[in-house]
A and B are shown apart, each in its own frame.
Chain A
Amino acid sequence: MTDTLTPILTETWDLPQSWRLATYRNHGGYTGLRRALAMRPGAVIDEVKASGLRGRGGAGFPTGLKWSFIPQDNPNPKYVVVNGDESEPGTCKDIPLLMACPHAVVEGAIIACYAVGAHRAFLYVRGEVVHVIRRVRAAVDEAYKAGLLGKDILGSGFSCDITVHVGAGAYICGEETALLDSLEGRRGQPRLRPPFPAVAGLYACPTVVNNVESLASVPSILKNGAAWYTSMGTEKSPGATIYSVSGHVVTPGQFEAPLGITFRTLLELAGGVRTGHQLKFFTPGGSSTPILTAEHLDVPLDYESVAAAGSMLGTKAMQVFDDTVSVVRTTLRWVQFYQHESCGKCTPCREGSYWLVQLLKRLEAGQGQEGDIEKILDICHQVGGRSFCTLADGFVACVTSAIEHFRPEFEAGYHTPAWELLPYERSAKFTVAVPEPAPVIAPAIVEVAPAPAPEPAKPRRLGRRRGKGDAA
């Protein structure tokens, strides 16, 4: 079973001080950079194109192709921006990667800069992960001291700087144009396209925005060659990737394996559904992708196959929910997340999420009214594909797929509270004593009337969460 795993990015994660430059170099780190610097920039792009590497931020756009869009005749400076604003519920790969092996990202960013003719990269890390930010900053410092950043890198004459930027905690800033606005010091809101970032991105200059994992995959491609990379995965989705598995499995975590393995394999890697329970549903790629059920377990995890199954590979984040879970409750929590994170720029997302939360809340409380489900579906229909960016498509996907697969459970919301149908405490994996919650301070400006029925008071149960230690 462990043969399925292909530790490339995760190879050094278990080593002591895996985040140090010395550790990274001992395991072949920065040889990809050395090789890249010996090539023409165009050849580097060709190599990445040949590897078939697809962006790991969710959309799966070919990375080499993205680099080749940078107009080399544009007199403005060019920039590489690394999107480390990982915030998708269920997705947990960029943050561990940055914490355990930040040099892979630094090396990938330098190679990307060299390939597209940029001399500065910005590493945008979400603001909540302070320990990771420290690691990343320390790694950039180490790289400068070792002559891997700054002027005349490794004697090649190529100069490159990396600026680590800390976001302020907004999901929308993971959208590449909102990230650019945020990086420029503005309110993070998606921009109108065209112009695309490749033409006018950061400070209206040609800009490549790449996901952390995409860039971290580049050094190994340069080191081992495109053919090595395409030997893994499927024809259209080559290579290996990090899968995040969370929820009701025995051993949740990150698993690096080729694209194209099945959900069943992945579930087995995570030890299967917790003992005594059956799989009810799962997300293939974070909460923004339509949910799937046990019947889809043999779908291969590549972009095409998951799309054919009616969902999206997304960020390859499998959130597993067993038979104790109320799908109504889950959907509501997700939509509440999106309502909170909607930037407010466009009407369908802002108002649609606001409306859906109210309808789902009363379904959860068993106070739904006949026709609510049709209304929810129609609202989703009015939002989907009509909003400014794809944030709204994310909550539409989880709502419509949940109703598609579990409509009777939503219909039960017309008369039975979800917590009676599926008592919430049964789905908790751990129990811990929680002190009385602090009083909720009502927002000063927005007075929204309370939902029809508040959730009954019951002991809150929280999952245990433990970091890997943050002594960077």
Chain B
Amino acid sequence: MSEPSVEATDLVTLTIDGTDVSVPKGEMVIRAAEQLGVAVPRFCDHPLLDPVAACRACLVDVLDAGNGRPMKPQPACALEVAPGMKIATAASSQVARDMQSGILEFLLINHPLDCPMCDKAGECPLQNQAVSHGPLESRYDGAKRRFPKSLPLSALVLLDRERCVLCQRCTRFSEQISGDPLLALVERGAKSQIGAGPGCAYDSYFSGNVVQICPVGALTSADYRFQARPVDLASTPTTCENCAAGCALRTDARHYAVKRRLAAPDPSVNDDWNCDKGRFAFRSGHLDDRLTTPLIRRGTRLEPASWPEALDAAAQGLMKARRSVGVLPGGRLTHENALAYSRFARAVVGNNNIDFRARAISEEETTFLTWLATRKNPDWVDYRALDAAKQVVLVCLEPEDECPMIFLRLRKAWRRRGLPVTTIAAYASRGSHKMGARLRATRPGTEASVLRGMADAGQLDAGTIVLLGERAALAPGLLSEVARLADDAGLRFAWVPRRAGEMGALQAGCLPGLLPAGHSVADDKAKIELAAMWHMPIPDSPGLDTQAMLEAAAAGSLSALLVGGVEPADLRDPALAHRAFGKAYTISLEQRVSEVTQLADVVFPVALLEEQEGTFVNWTAEARSVGLVNPQAVAPMPDVRVLSALARAMGKQVAMRNMRNPAQARAIYAELDVRRGIPAPRPSVRPGPADVPRLVLDKDVIEVTLAGWRQLLDGSRCLDGADALVATAPAPVMRLSAVTAAKVGLSAGAVATLSAGDSTWTGPVEITSMVDDVVWIPLRSVSECGRLDAQPGDRVRLGAGGAA
């Protein structure tokens, strides 16, 4: 998508240090100076925050305000350009030089000058600008302001107040960008300081950004504090693996060990920001449970084995199973690795039993995704489309939890231009409030009817974008309705998976009815072409999806499973998964010991993301590069390399030819002719009933519909090792309406229990304005609340008190 070109009439020409520069109308002088490469010192200024003009470091001499008259010194960050304006910066004006040097002297009088022990030293704007624009020596010989060291603003963010220059970037970020106004200036005058409210921690999903934009070493993260010196760090541009947003990251490593991750600027995706999960959740691969050698099951024990031995064992197991094999790659793979699984299933195993979805799924979703991937002219929605949208409707998607960059975009659009956001959900979440979203209160499972109602009422006009989350799979008829509206009425929509690898896996054809590059299994021509490239016939038989594979394996009708990154707890029926992995011959490709590796017959260690290069495809279908951070890995083989070796061990190296590493996999994909074939049919499932019978099981227990989603900071294993981050997670609560609560005699703060089958979830009640007879809980939450084996839309039992 190209930028709309700026009309020449929108440009304003001014003169800075004698050089003409043209910038868009409404721009600030400091931006115009940047265009000329003129260095103007600044602390409070940030291009994405509203100007505050507090630090006064960017004062410039205004020789002519555009009206023929000079002005008194003005901060360049808050001075709007005007035609004919004449500005002198320190580069050409002694006055400006004096002003800038004077402000830096002021900023330094109360600064501790503890650079030798400050994390920021070496990349510190105060340090740099003091040298470039400041006085050589301070004339200050008085007492400096002192504060007790490091005030924790949250478990993650610490504040050294004496270093602070009170630029208020952090307070403005938290208020304007993330909508968590938990930081403020407190006290006044020389006692001014940043603080969080008493007893109120700065628990925001985006708190790491304030550390990154702090222009001094005042804000540090508990995670990186005292860990490294900027000069020791090697930076690698990469992409975040923690959701499908596709944030650009800069990974800083010291001696190949990742020390921190920063948001890299990318206006088309994440602006200058990222979420705390993306920033801090990178330690899970460095814990004691990292797999470093292959393992083979001998009796009841898994024992370390050599690579040839393990490859031979796995090859024999697969060959013994012949074609009775299922492939479960999981949703967190790079595109290249997903393509390797896809090819392995088709060309090496010879069937279509492959499904990347390690979560609750439906047949409707399978059909929908196949339709989506094979659609001609799919008109992908991206972040810029959200910027320009007239309305955004969220269905089964909580952007703040499930794709934080969508949340920030929508909040920005709402704040800047009042973008109407509607959310079809059980209640208006914290994130919904921060986007100004209008709630269409809906019982989980009945979203399709609500969406159809909106369409019938003409509320989904051109300019509307519907965003669907992964939970759409659980709302009968919803995906069918969206597909119908898209085909018949030109509705713009996007499917926003939660995991980083799902869109890439979809493009790689990791679904039973789908081949790579958007070809349907029913497309004979595509199959012939693919067979020619892959040197193997492409199987015709319809494959099994995740649920069917697990059921078949548990029943003994599927002999072997090849499993990537899958956690049984993420699946609809974890017990079924355990039975399946226990019964079938299971080969696991994993980074860490997991429930699957413990049940597997052969385990191969695979490289962490930082140990390989590759690509993620984000929800906008844009390829985002993953950089190689650590070339000295203990387990250097990415999945694609292991699968290639496995094919060779099975004597089928031809089937994986030229696909030994991510670069080769990418080259192979590039040869495929994307989406030229015939589109697959769209799903046509009728919406479920709007009403359900209300059952009162006995006096104290009622049946309710479960609502919930996985919060950003949940019980996910990728958060292991990021203890400070996990400590900022919201406390789990059970939400229900006052009416529902009254039915079982619950009040706010009381403890209640949900149960489904043998599983229970117990937690404190929070009375929330929401749909009656629905109970919301955070799915897979961090705490000891228990684990409910039920999905949103399921009927569960609610009772007061703890678990029996």
Contact = CB atoms under 8 A, between A and B. Distances in A.
B153 to A, nearest CB: 15
Nearest to A345: B54
B103 A386 contact: yes
A347 B165 CA distance: 8
A347 B189 CA distance: 10
B307 interface: no
A407 B51 CA distance: 40
Interface stretch (A198-206, A295-303, A324-332, A335-343): A335-343
A106 B148 CA distance: 49
B147 interface: yes
B189 A355 contact: no
B418 to A, nearest CB: 14
B169 to A, nearest CB: 14
A347 B190 contact: no
A354 B184 contact: no
Interface string A7-43: 0000000000000000000000000000000000000
Interface stretch (B136-144, B389-397, B572-580): B136-144
Interface in B101-125: 102-103, 105-107, 109-110
A433 interface: no
A353 B148 CA distance: 23
A60 B643 CA distance: 82
B191 A385 contact: no
A375 interface: yes
Contacts of A57: none
B72 A355 contact: no
Interface in A29-78: none
A343 B143 contact: no
Given A342-B189, A382-B105, A445-B187, A347 B57 contact: yes
Interface string B72-105: 1100001000000000000000000011001101
Interface in B40-83: 51-57, 59, 72-73, 78
B106 A348 contact: yes
Contacts of A447: 146-147
A350 interface: yes
A346 B72 CA distance: 16
B107 A347 contact: yes
B110 A347 contact: no
Interface string B26-51: 00000000000000000000000001
Contacts of A343: 188-189, 192
Contact of A350 (B51, B144, B147, B192): B192
Contacts of A354: 109-110, 145, 189-190
A351 interface: yes
Contacts of A353: 189-190
B193 interface: yes
A256 B53 CA distance: 40
B56 A386 contact: yes
A375 B140 CA distance: 10
A355 B54 contact: no
Majority SS at the chain B contact face:
loop
B103 A339 contact: no
Contacts of B216: none
A313 B654 CA distance: 94
Chain A CB count within 10 A is highest, among B107, B146, B191, B193, for: B191
A380 to B, nearest CB: 11
B56 A448 contact: no
Contacts of B107: 347, 351
Interface residues of B, number: 41
Contacts of B193: 445
Contact of A344 (B73, B105, B187): B187
B200 interface: no
Given A351-B109, A445-B147, A386 B99 contact: yes
A351 B56 contact: no
Nearest to A452: B142
B462 interface: no
Contacts of A345: 52, 54, 166, 168, 185, 192
B56 A187 contact: no
Interface in B139-166: 139-140, 142-148, 165-166
Nearest to B184: A187
A387 B75 CA distance: 10
B54 A346 contact: yes
A340 B189 contact: yes
Contacts of A172: 188
Chain A CB count within 10 A is highest, among B106, B184, B191, for: B106
B40 to A, nearest CB: 15
B56 A388 contact: yes
A375 B185 CA distance: 30
A382 B99 contact: yes
Contacts of B192: 343-345, 350
Interface in A353-370: 353-355, 358-359
A352 interface: yes
A192 interface: yes
Given A342-B189, A344-B166, A375 B139 contact: yes
Nearest to B146: A447
Chain B CB count within 10 A is highest, among A341, A344, A450, for: A344
Contact of A386 (B73, B140, B166): B73
A438 interface: no
A63 B51 CA distance: 30
B56 A387 contact: yes
A307 B117 CA distance: 52
Nearest to B140: A355
B78 to A, nearest CB: 6
A343 B192 CA distance: 8
A449 interface: yes
A451 B145 CA distance: 12
Given A385-B73, A445-B147, A358 B142 contact: yes
A359 B143 CA distance: 11
A448 B143 contact: yes
Interface in A395-453: 443, 445-451
A354 B188 CA distance: 12
A334 to B, nearest CB: 15
Contacts of A351: 106-107, 109-110, 190
B143 A449 contact: yes
B356 to A, nearest CB: 49
B106 A347 contact: yes
A170 interface: yes
Contacts of B189: 339-344, 350, 353-354
Contacts of A449: 143-144, 146
Contacts of B57: 347
Contacts of B148: 445
A170 B188 contact: yes
A189 B52 CA distance: 11
Contact of A388 (B53, B146, B165, B188): B53
Contacts of B188: 170, 172, 341-344
A401 B47 CA distance: 40
A451 B143 CA distance: 8
Chain A CB count within 10 A is highest, among B52, B102, B110, B148, for: B102
A87 B144 CA distance: 29
A344 B190 contact: yes
Contacts of B54: 345-347, 388
Given A342-B188, A347-B106, 9 more contacts: A187-B184, A192-B78, A339-B190, A340-B189, A342-B190, A347-B166, A351-B107, A352-B106, A448-B145
Ranked 7 nearest A-B pairs via Cβ? A344-B192, A382-B102, A449-B143, A351-B106, A358-B142, A342-B189, A354-B190
6 contacts: A344-B185, A347-B106, A350-B166, A351-B190, A354-B145, A446-B190
Interface of A: 170, 172, 187, 189, 192, 339-348, 350-355, 358-359, 375, 381-382, 385-388, 443, 445-451
Interface of B: 51-57, 59, 72-73, 78, 98-99, 102-103, 105-107, 109-110, 139-140, 142-148, 165-166, 168, 184-185, 187-193
